[in-house]
Amino acid sequence: MSLSDVSKSLPDLSISIGGLTLPSPLIIASGLWPHDASFWQEPYSAGVGAICSKGLTRRPRTGNSGIRIWETPSGVLNSIGLQNRGVEVFVKEELPHLAKSGIPVIVNLAVESLEETIESLVLLKSVVKDIAAVELNVSCPNVDCGGMAWGMSADGVSSVLGVARKVWEGELWVKLTPQAFDLPAVGRAAEDGGADALVVSNTWLGMAIDVETKKPVFDRIFAGLSGPAVFPLALRCLYEVAGSVSIPVIGCGGVCSDEDVLAMLLVGAAAVEIGSMLMHDLKCISNIHESLTKRMVLWGVGSVADIIGKGRGDRF
C-alpha cells in the first residue's frame, strides 16, 4: 500500500510528554547529530519529533584521547568523552540557528558538579523560549568527573534534581543509566525530585580488546555500547521503569525499525529516541516514520496514544 492510498485517514503521530507536544514520537538521541542547521531541515527532518543536542558541559571539553568508536556485533562501542564547545558557545552561536529550523530542541546537559549544573541551567534560562526541554544526562559512562556516577543511585539523582528543579522551570527530562543497580528506584527518585519525563536509557558499559596489539582498544578501557545489539536490554529496562513511575518514559537503545518503535510504545514508552541507527542510515527516521504510519493504518489505530502501554502483558 502506498502512502497516497492511505492519506485520507492518516493516523495522528503527535505525542505529548508532560507539557510538551511533539509532532512525532521519533526523537534524535544525543551525540549523533551535527549542530549544523543544514542537517536540521529536509530531507533529514522528515518524521523527526525533536532533536537532542550533543551532551553539553559548563565549559568546553576536548573529549577522550585514542580510538573513540569500535564496531561490535550489531552495535558500536563509543568513548567520545563529551567533546563539546560548552553551554555558553551553544547558547550564543549554535542554538539560535538550530531553533530557526522549527524542530523542537532538547538540550542534553551533562551533569559534572552540582555548581556547574546550576550555572549551565542559569545560562539556558536566558534562551528558554528556544528550548523544548532540558535532558539531564546523569548517565555518560565516558568521563571521570560526574557523568554516570550521578545516575547510579537514587540519592545521586535526588541531589541533582534538588538543585536543577529550583533553577529550571521548563520541561525537565532525566536520562538514566542502565548500569544503575536498581533502575526503577532511580526512576522513582527522579519523579519525586520533579522530573517531567525519564529517558531509558544511555549506553551500556562494555569493553574491547584488540587481539593484534593485545591491548584494550580504548584509552579509558571501558566504553558505552549502543545499537541494535542492546535493544532487548533497553526494552526490558523500559518495561521496568515504565511500570514503576507515573511520569512519561522515553525509550532509547537500539531502535532501528518501526517494529522496535512499536515494541517500545507497547511496553509503555511515550516516545523513543534513536541514536546509533543514524550512523547506519542518515534518513532512517523518515523511513521509520513512513512504515510506522502504514502499519498504524493497517492496524486501524488512529493515534500513537492508543498504543502506549497496551502490550505489557502480566509479569509474575
Partner 1 sequence: MQCSRGLEREGFLIDKAFLGGGVYSLRFETQELLPAILPGQFFMVGPHRWKSDPFLLRPFAVVDGSENGVEFLMKVVGRGTKDIVSCERGTSFRLRGPLGNGVFTATRGRSLALVAGGIGVAPLLCAWKFHSDVISSFVFGVSNRDWAGVADWASSKVSGLTVASDDGSLGCKGTAPDVLKKEGDFIDEIWACGPVPMLKAVYETFGGKSLIMASLESRMGCGIGGCHSCTVKTQRGMLKVCHDGPVFDLSEVFLDELI
Ligand X SMILES: Cc1cc2nc3c(=O)[nH]c(=O)nc-3n(C[C@H](O)[C@H](O)[C@H](O)COP(=O)(O)O)c2cc1C
Annotated binding site: 30, 54-55, 78-82, 108, 137, 175, 202-203, 227, 253-254, 275-276
Interface characters, 234-263, with partner 1 (x: CB under 8 A): ----------------------x-------
The nearest distance, CB 170 to partner 1, in angstroms, is: 25
280 binds, among ligand X, partner 1, none (CB under 5 to 8 A by kind): partner 1
Partner interacting with residue 137 (select from partner 1, ligand X, none; CB below 5-8 Å by kind): ligand X
Query: Quick check: 205 and 225 in contact, CB under 8 A?
Result: yes
**Between the CA of residue 76 and those of 94, 223, 257, 277, what are the distances in Å?**
28, 9, 17, 10
Cα–chain center distance at 51: 9
- Interaction between residue 78 and partner 1 (CB under 8 A): yes
Least Å distance, CB 22 to ligand X, is 17
CB of 53 to ligand X, least distance (A): 8
Residue 253's binding partner among partner 1, ligand X, none (Cβ under 5 to 8 angstroms by kind) is ligand X
Beta strands in the chain (DSSP E): 15-17, 20-22, 26-28, 50-52, 69-72, 75-78, 105-110, 133-137, 172-175, 197-200, 204-207, 209-210, 215-216, 222-226, 249-252, 269-274
How many C-beta atoms surround the C-beta of residue 278 within 10 A?
A: 16
Q: Which is nearer to partner 1, 283 or 310 (CB)?
A: 283
Shortest distance in whole angstroms from residue 227 CB to partner 1:
6
83 binds, among ligand X, partner 1, none (CB under 5 to 8 A by kind): partner 1
The answer to the question of residue 108 lying near ligand X (CB under 6 A) is: yes
Rounded to whole angstroms, how far apart are CA atoms 2 and 6?
7
Residue 274 as a binder of ligand X (CB under 6 A): the answer is yes
Q: Over the range 25-37, which residues count as b (16 or more CB within 10 Å of their CB) and which as e?
A: bbbbbbbbbebee
Grid cell 550521578 is found at: 150
Residue 272 touches ligand X, criterion: CB under 6 A? no
User: Could you confirm whether 252 is annotated as catalytic?
Assistant: no
Cα dihedral 97, 101, 105, 110 sign: negative
Distance CA 255, CA 26 (A): 10
Q: Which stretch binds partner 1 (CB under 8 A): 36-44, 112-120, 155-163, 181-189?
A: 36-44
Residue whose entry in the numeric block shows the C-alpha cell 568508536: 69
Under 8 Å between Cβ of 272 and 27:
yes
CB of 222 to ligand X, least distance (A): 14
CB of 258 to partner 1, least distance (A): 14
Instruction: Select 55 or 170, whichever has its Cβ closest to ligand X.
Output: 55
CB 13 within 8 A of CB 295: no
Count of positions (residues) in the chain? 316
Closest CB to ligand X among residues 15, 229: 229
Kindly state the DSSP code that residue 92 receives in the 8-state scheme.
I
Question: Cα(28)–Cα(267) distance, rounded to whole angstroms?
Answer: 20
Residue with Cβ nearer partner 1 (104 or 227):
227
**Residue ranges that bind ligand X, judged by CB under 6 A:** 29-32, 54-55, 76, 78, 80, 82, 108, 137, 140, 175, 202-203, 226-227, 230, 252-255, 274-277
Residues serving a catalytic function are: 140
* Interface residues toward partner 1, by CB under 8 A: 31-34, 36, 39, 42-44, 54, 62-63, 65-71, 73-76, 78, 80, 83, 227-229, 256, 276, 278-283
